[in-house]
Amino acid sequence: MTHIKDAIEDGDHPLGTWTSVGHPAVAEGLAQLDLDFLLVDMEHTTMSLETVEGMARAVDATSSETDAVVRVPWNDSVRLKRVIDIGIAGVMVPMIDNAEEARKLVRSLRYPPEGIRGIAGSRATGYGRNFQKYVDNANGSILTIAQIETEEGLENAEEIAHVDGIDALFVGPADLSAAIGMFAEWDTDEFADAVKSVIEAGNKAGTPVGTLTVDTDAIETRMGQGFDFLIAGKDISLLMEGVDEAIDEYEDSLDDTVVVSSD
């Protein structure tokens, strides 16, 4: 079991941040902070498996408890197998629409006879040195998060949450808001009702529910909605916001300097 899987199962309200810049230095720097996990995004970035492996190594190199969780591009058993062979703590899978897709996801992450994961001497097994021990204990050890972000997924959220092996649901806010015809209208009743229905589905099944907010000012609002964990902020957005603040400070200082000089 990993720190992040334990934290989610124990209801400790873990916190992560989103990583879309595919450089180990970004992962290593963020992993030194008081975060439970980094979400490394492969769905909407150009990151290769080699890049993700470098990111995972960078996270593991720190002395913190921060774990690497990877969002894969799709519910594809071949891609999932190759990603978890890297030795990461968990996966997030987009657009899980029904219980059968959720069961396919779980089977992809487990060795036979419970699943269809192929067995190999990968980084996860210590390149074969811990082969037997790893294979004996791997099933059920990888955090498994199903994203709810379509109308079908919204309708079937409770049955997805009940699938054995699904550790958490995750509201994909952008795609879900688009699916219900309310793209980026975060404060509407319609979007709030959709979010509420996923949270209620998770509560009925005893399955934690999380979401992302790029806007860190919305953290209190999202937690107030009843989410069990959160991904707050996105690396490139936080970087740009920090530089924007520096620009504003510089321009204010320049204006003050000009005023003093003219006096």
Amino acid at 11: G
- The answer to whether 16 and 229 have CB atoms below 8 angstroms apart is yes
Smallest Cα–Cα separation from 228: which of 16, 3, 2?
16
Smallest Cα–Cα separation from 153: which of 50, 75, 82, 262?
75
- The answer to whether 174 and 184 have CB atoms below 8 angstroms apart is yes
44 catalytically annotated? yes
40 sits in which H/E element: strand 37-41
- The b-or-e profile of 179-208 (16+ CB within 10 A means b, else e) is bbebeeebeeeebeebbebbbebbeebebb
Active-site entry in 3, 13, 23, 44 = 44
Q: How far apart are the first and last CA of the chain?
A: 66
Hey, which residues are catalytic here? 44
